[in-house]
Structure formats: structure tokens, C-alpha cells
């Protein structure tokens, strides 16, 4: 029974975009569960490299204004409006950051992978709770260091948009057959 549930949740996971959110706020207890589950991701040498900056309420507007300000000269007015709409429609926006181990005990790719696994745990928790979720990694995340007050060795890997939704369009996602990516050595 449990394997059926986990298989179903994993296979139902998909990007649900802010344009599909209804504006309803996600209960704080669920946000805390999402973050707790992120913290259970595997990480070599127990470096816990993930760092999350969670924006909700009025703080989302400050995030949107900062992104627009940082990119004022490089993005169109239409793009500025889309950025603001994505953020304000979302219940929460989580800036996904990664902290390099200061002792360099593990390669950077392992810490990025661990952070990605933490995000996958968050995404699966969202799926299990019928919450929309979308990870965006636009070029301008490189400009977020000062605003997020990132410390030495930290970097922003993207934004995780979370939101409640009513009905999703019936989109058939084509999944590649896994057999194309497996070489058996038996």
C-alpha cells in the first residue's frame, strides 16, 4: 500500500505554474512540513548545504520590486509585469540557495545535488498536499546575493513558487521510456 502511494506521488509531480494559482494562502503548518521534509534530503558529510529564504505576504512585493530594480535596464516592461504577477499570485516564493562547505570536504556538485534533492522533497510534499510548485532559475538569480544577504560561499540557485490551485488543465506529459537510458550489465 505504501509503495503505491509513494509511486503515485512521484509520478504525479509536475510543474504547476503561478498563472494556474488561485491566490489562496498555503497554511503555515504545511509550509513548515515542506521545509522539514527538505531538511531530510541526503547530504554527504552532513553539510546540509541548502538555505531557503521564504517570502510571503507583503515581503513578496519587496522581492518583486528588488528583482525588477536589479534588472531594470535588461528586461522589458512586459517581463517586469510577468515577474510581479508570478510573485504576487504565489502564496509563497522560496529562494533556493546553496552553501559551500567551508572546509571543502565535498565537491560543489554534491552540494548542488543535495540541495536539488531537498527541493525534490519539497516538490513531492507539495504534490501530496495538492499544492502547485514550480522551480525557476532565471539568469538574474546571480544578482540576488546582496538582497538576500548571502554569505561567502553561498549562491542562489533559483526561485520555488508555491500556490494553491483549483483545477489543472489536463496536460498529458510525455515521459521518455526509461529503458532508453539504461544499460544492463548482468
| Distinct helix (H) and strand (E) counts, the chain | 5, 4
pLDDT at residue number 64: 96
From first to last of its 186 residues, what are the pLDDT tens digits of the chain? 677 899 999 989 999 999 999 999 999 999 999 999 999 999 999 999 999 999 999 999 999 999 999 988 888 999 999 999 999 999 999 999 999 999 999 999 999 999 999 999 999 999 999 999 999 999 889 999 999 999 999 999 999 999 999 987 666 667 788 888 999 999
For the chain, the maximum distance between any two Cα atoms, rounded to a whole number of angstroms, is 57
Task: DSSP letter for 160, please.
Answer: E
Query: DSSP letters along 65-132, please?
Result: HHHHHHTTTTS-HHHHHHHHHHHHHSSEEEEEEEE--TT--S-HHHHHHHHHHHHHHHHHHHHHTTEE
User: In degrees rounded to 5, what are phi and psi of residue 118?
Assistant: -60, -40
pLDDT at residue number 172: 66
Separation of alpha carbons 133 and 15, rounded Å:
6
Cβ neighbours of residue 51 closer than 8 Å, sequence gap 6 or more: 97, 98, 99, 150, 154
Length of the chain: 186
Beta bridge partners of 159: 95, 136
Which of the following CATH numbers is that of domain 14-169: 3.40.50.2300, 1.10.10.10, 3.40.109.10, 3.40.1400.10? Answer: 3.40.109.10
Amino acid at each position: 500500500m505504501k509503495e503505491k502511494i509513494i509511486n503515485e506521488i512521484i509520478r504525479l509531480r509536475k510543474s504547476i505554474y503561478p498563472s494556474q494559482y488561485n491566490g489562496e494562502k498555503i497554511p503555515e503548518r504545511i509550509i513548515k512540513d515542506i521545509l522539514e521534509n527538505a531538511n531530510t534530503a541526503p547530504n554527504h558529510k552532513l553539510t546540509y548545504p541548502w538555505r531557503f529564504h521564504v517570502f510571503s505576504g507583503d515581503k513578496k512585493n519587496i522581492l518583486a520590486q528588488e528583482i525588477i530594480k536589479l534588472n531594470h535596464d535588461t528586461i522589458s516592461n512586459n517581463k517586469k509585469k510577468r515577474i510581479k504577477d508570478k510573485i504576487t499570485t504565489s502564496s509563497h516564493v522560496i529562494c533556493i540557495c546553496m552553501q559551500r562547505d567551508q572546509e571543502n570536504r565535498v565537491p560543489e556538485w554534491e552540494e548542488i545535488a543535495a540541495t536539488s534533492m531537498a527541493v525534490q522533497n519539497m516538490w513531492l510534499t507539495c504534490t501530496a498536499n495538492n499544492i502547485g510548485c514550480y522551480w525557476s532559475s532565471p539568469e538574474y538569480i546571480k544578482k540576488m546575493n546582496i538582497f538576500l544577504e548571502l554569505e561567502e560561499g553561498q549562491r542562489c540557485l533559483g526561485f520555488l513558487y508555491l500556490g494553491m490551485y483549483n483545477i489543472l488543465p489536463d496536460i498529458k506529459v510525455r515521459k521518455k521510456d526509461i529503458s532508453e537510458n539504461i544499460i544492463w550489465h548482468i
